[in-house]
Structure 1
Amino acid sequence: MRMLVRLVLGLFVLKAVVASPRFSRQVDLDSYDGTNYDVDLDNLNLVNQDIYDYEDGLTIDDPQIEIGTLAPPDYNYPVPEASLEEQTEEEEEELPLTPQLIPQGSGGSGVLMGPDTQKGMPTCLLCTCLGGSVYCDDLKLDSVPPLPKDTTHFYARYNRITKINKSDFAFMNKLKKIDLTANEITSIDETAFMGLPNLEELVIRENHISQLPGLPETMTLIDASHNNIGTKGLHKEAFKDMTGLLYLYLTDNHIDYVPVPLPDSLRSLHLQRNNIQMMHEDTFCNLKDFNYIRNALEDIRLDGNPINLSRTPQAYVCLPRIPIGDLI
């Protein structure tokens, strides 16, 4: 910009000098021939002095140019386009953040971090959710919280739950294990677990249950020890169709008979400290087939019952081991 101003000023001064009559006193250097190189320095200095005098003689009415005060011409400089990466980042910043909902579980509306509980917070904030496992141990819960739909393992041990309702585990098609150890459960809806097509393990030990509810045929482990289950607390042939059942624990109840028939898959049967007084010879074995061997059932606990195992020796001939209990 300064160079432009200086150029305009120089042209303006030069034009003024040419128009002045005193310019005739300039030395015409082009008229010199090749033999005379003397220059009238006095006249040349006079011309320069005239130029300076002309500049000093400018009046206030003459147009003046102030260096550095000219406004730049109106010009819209092109704005550099943002790179593809920057455009993508800007688009991501402009897009509103939408929380992803966890699918609806049992009794919940399906919000971030699982359905809301009665305590006013999502289940996965109240409990601990790791993958498909939900841990709600020792939280003083008085009911089963609504669970995310994809729950596979549910633990709510050492709480104050008193009842299991039909709706507590409704539509939980992926649920494989339920552990409600050491609560205050007195009743369980008869169909509370029947709608669970993948349920394999149920642990309800150390409660106040008087009747074992219906269970799906997919069970592999049932632990209802330390309850109040009596003679009428088990359905007739309750375990017959559970062809994958491996462990049946009914310790410390009020059962007065071995709940036969038992599936061939069973490995461990714990009935200690009940009220079993007698056993039939076909309780474990098949008297019509003496070649029948029950290799899987290696662990039978009958100690603490008012029964003399020595009275029914034929009841154990098909077993790999004799039951543990009183033989006298």
Structure 2
Amino acid sequence: MRKGGKMKALARIFLGLVIFDAAVTVPTPEPINYDSEAYDATVEDLDTLYNYENIPIDQAETERVMLSGNRELLTPAPLPGENQEEDEDEESTPRLIDGSSPQEPEFTGLLGPHTNEDFPTCLLCTCIGTTVYCDDHELDTVPPLPKNTAYFYSRFNRIKKINKNDFASLNDLKRIDLTSNLISEIDEDAFRKLPHLRELVLRDNKIRQLPELPATLTFIDISNNRLGRKGIKQEAFKDMYDLHHLYLTDNNLDHIPLPLPESLRALHLQNNNILEMHEDTFCNVKNLTYIRKALEDIRLDGNPINLSKTPQAYMCLPRLPIGSLV
């Protein structure tokens, strides 16, 4: 037993020496310095300090996505093995946040399409929902409008001409107000192809002739212009079955533009050159029981016409026209 005890003691001593030798040979790690000099250390310095394995650079890259207002959104680039079917040209093209390209002509973006001066319309004007306000901005042309524009106001500017492409493809447009400009010319197709246009206001301009208008209109105001004998096409308002208000005051008209739709409620023709009126202007002389209930507001004051000469012309109306009876 004594011999066995001596062997165990020797074994323990030998094992202790081996452990001690191993502990002495292990290098002591250098402490990490967090003072101000090392706090902004580069990634390469930290890699050397911690002896990290090198990470492939294409996994650490990010691509920049341009936003309106010169902001940038950083998104991680695809990892190796992911779908990368786009060619290099497409990858190098800057993309907006919705994925479209700023070079695309149909792009409207957050600030609307760009004007001829490469300036966004909604930065030049004020866009609230589907309404665009461009009042009093010294504009000489209609600016490019967002495709969803429903109401457009560009009053008190210097616009001289309405081109056929100014409102092209604006299928949601319901109201156009170009009051107090310098408009003297309007292309024939400027308004005709707008499927939902309801209100057209062109008062206080220099318009001599109206183009063909869409039959969807309910409100028309072309007061204080230069419309004369040939300024309004024959039967221009005949098919406007929803037209309620027609304002043609302060022009050079010498006649009432007929026929007028049954839906008409207000007709203002004051301060023109209307000389005469026929018995069938408003009523149907062949049907004495015909009553025109809707037309309650007719203004003919300021014209060289004597309304008392044609009393049969008002028999079907709920109210007499306002004008001279002498």
Q: Is the 8 A contact 1:219 1:245 kept in 2?
A: yes
Which protein is bigger by CA-based radius of gyration?
1
Aligned with 1:190 (options 179, 188, 191): 188
- Matched residue pairs, number? 257
Q: After the TM superposition, which residues 245-284 of structure 1 pair with which residues of structure 2 at under 5 Å, given as runs?
A: 245-284=243-282
Q: CA separation in 2, counterparts of 1:208 and 1:179? A: 15
Structure 1: unaligned runs, 5 residues or longer: 1-10, 17-61, 77-91
2:115 corresponds to which letter in structure 1? Answer: T
For structure 2, the 5+ residue unaligned runs are: 1-8, 15-19, 31-50, 52-73, 79-94
TM-fit CA distance, 1:114: 1.5
Counterpart of 1:15 in 2: which secondary structure? helix
**Identity score, percent:** 58
Any idea what SS the aligned residue of 2:137 has?
A: coil
Q: SS where residue 169 of structure 1 aligns?
A: coil
TM superposition shift of 1:170: 1.1
Distance 1:64 1:282, change over 3 A: closer
- What is the CA–CA distance in structure 2 between the aligned matches of 1:102 and 1:223, rounded to whole Å? 40
Mapped pair 1:125 → 2:123: yes
TM-score normalised per structure 1: 0.71
Q: Secondary structure at the match of 2:132?
A: strand
How big is each residue's C-alpha offset from its partner over 1:155-202, in whole Å with a ceiling of 9 and x where there is no partner?
Answer: 110100000011111111111111100000010011211111111111
Q: Is the Cα–Cα contact under 8 Å of residues 283 and 290 in structure 2 kept in the other structure? A: yes
Given the alignment of the two structures, is residue 94 of structure 1 paired with residue 91 of structure 2, yes or no? no
Q: Which residue of 2 aligns with 1:234?
A: 232
Indicate the structure with greater helix content. Answer: 1
- Aligned equivalents of 1:260, 1:229: Cα separation in 2: 15
Listed one character per residue, the Cα deviations across residues 282-322 of structure 1 (whole Å, up to 9, x for unaligned) are 10000111111111001000000011111111111110100
Which position in structure 1 is the counterpart of 2:308? 310
Which residue identity does 1:121 align to in structure 2? F
Q: Displacement of 1:65 after TM fit?
A: 6.4
C-alpha deviation, 1:103, in angstroms: 12
Q: Measure the CA separation in 1 of the matches of 2:311 and 2:138.
A: 49
Which of these residues, 213, 216, 219, is aligned with residue 214 of structure 2?
A: 216
How far 1:98 sits from its partner (Å)? Answer: 3.5
CA drift of 1:228 comes to 0.3
How far apart are the structure 1 equivalents of 2:232 and 2:101?
36
CA RMSD of aligned residues (A): 3.4
SS of equivalent residue, structure 2 residue 298: strand
| 1:246, distance to aligned residue in structure 2 (A) | 0.4
Matched, 1:114 2:112: yes
User: How has the CA–CA distance of structure 1 residues 115 and 101 changed in structure 2, closer, same or farther, with 3 Å as cutoff?
Assistant: farther
CA contact (8 A) 1:252 1:274 kept: yes
